[in-house]
A and B are shown apart, each in its own frame.
Chain A
Amino acid sequence: MKRIAPIDIAGGILVVAFLALLPMFAASNYLTGVLTVCVIYGIWASSWDFMSGLTGRENFGHSLFIGAGAYTAGFLSSIWSANPWVSLPLGVVIAIAFSLLVGFPTLRLRGPYFALAMLSASAILQRLCLIFWEYTGGEEGIYGLDPLMKNPLHYYWFVLAILAVTVITLTLLARSHWGLLLRAIRGDEATCQAAGINVTFYKIVSLMISAGFAGLGGALYAHYQLQVSPPLFSVVVSITVIIMVYVGGIGSIYGAAVAAILLTLLTEMLRGFGEYRLWIYTLTLMLILFFLPNGLIAPLWRRLTERLR
Chain B
Amino acid sequence: MLQILIYGAVSSAIYAMLAVGFTLIFGVARILNLAHGSFYALGAYAAYVLTSLLGVPLFIAAPLAVLIVAGFGVMMERFLVRPLRSSQLAVLMITLAVSLAVEQALFITFGSEYRNVPSFVADKLSIGGVDISGQRLLALVAGVLVLLGLWLFIQRTRLGAAILAVSQDPEAAQYMGIPTNRIFSIVMAISAGTAALAGVLVSPFLTVQPTMGLLPMVKAFAIVIVGGLGSIPGSIIASLILGYSETIVAYLISSSWTELVSLVAVVITLMIRPSGLLGRRAAF
Q: Give residues in A with beta carbon < 8 Å to B.
A: 56, 58, 60, 105-106, 108-109, 111-113, 115-117, 119-121, 123-124, 127-128, 131-132, 235-236, 239, 242, 246, 275-276, 278-279, 282-283, 285-286, 289-290, 293
Q: With an 8 A cutoff between CB atoms, is B104 at the interface? A: yes
| 10 A-B pairs in the complex with CB atoms less than 8 angstroms apart | A60-B96, A115-B32, A123-B218, A124-B260, A275-B104, A286-B97, A289-B84, A289-B90, A289-B97, A290-B83
Complex Cα distance, B215 from A91, in Å, reads 27
Whether A127 contacts B215 by the Cβ 8 Å rule is yes
Whether B214 contacts A235 by the Cβ 8 Å rule is yes
Q: In terms of DSSP, what is the predominant structure of the interface of chain B?
A: helix
Complex Cα distance, B84 from A290, in Å, reads 8
Whether A113 contacts B108 by the Cβ 8 Å rule is no
Residues of B within 8 A of A283 (CB): 101
Q: Give residues in B with beta carbon < 8 Å to A.
A: 32, 34, 80, 83-84, 87-90, 92-94, 96-97, 100-101, 104-105, 107-108, 214-215, 218, 221-222, 225, 229, 256, 259-260, 262-263, 266-267, 270-271, 274
Whether A285 contacts B93 by the Cβ 8 Å rule is yes
Residues of B within 8 A of A58 (CB): 89, 92-93
Minimal beta-carbon separation of A83 from chain B (angstroms): 32
Residue of B nearest to A242 (CB): B93
Complex Cα distance, B263 from A128, in Å, reads 12
The listed residue with most B CB atoms (<10 A of its CB), out of A105, A109, A276, is A105
Residues of B within 8 A of A124 (CB): 218, 259-260, 262-263
Q: Once A and B bind, how many residue pairs between them come within 8 Å at the CB atom? A: 94
Residues of B within 8 A of A119 (CB): 34, 218, 221
Whether A120 contacts B96 by the Cβ 8 Å rule is no
Complex Cα distance, B128 from A16, in Å, reads 72
Complex Cα distance, B266 from A106, in Å, reads 10
Whether A116 contacts B221 by the Cβ 8 Å rule is yes
Whether B263 contacts A282 by the Cβ 8 Å rule is no
Picked from B90, B93, B100, B274, the residue with its CB within 8 Å of the CB of A235 is B100
Residues of A within 8 A of B88 (CB): 112
Residues of A within 8 A of B107 (CB): 275
Picked from A56, A105, A113, A278, the residue with its CB within 8 Å of the CB of B89 is A56
Complex Cα distance, B104 from A235, in Å, reads 13
Residues of B within 8 A of A236 (CB): 100
Minimal beta-carbon separation of B45 from chain A (angstroms): 17
Residue of B nearest to A114 (CB): B270
Picked from A105, A127, A289, the residue with its CB within 8 Å of the CB of B271 is A105
Complex Cα distance, B274 from A111, in Å, reads 10
Minimal beta-carbon separation of A267 from chain B (angstroms): 14
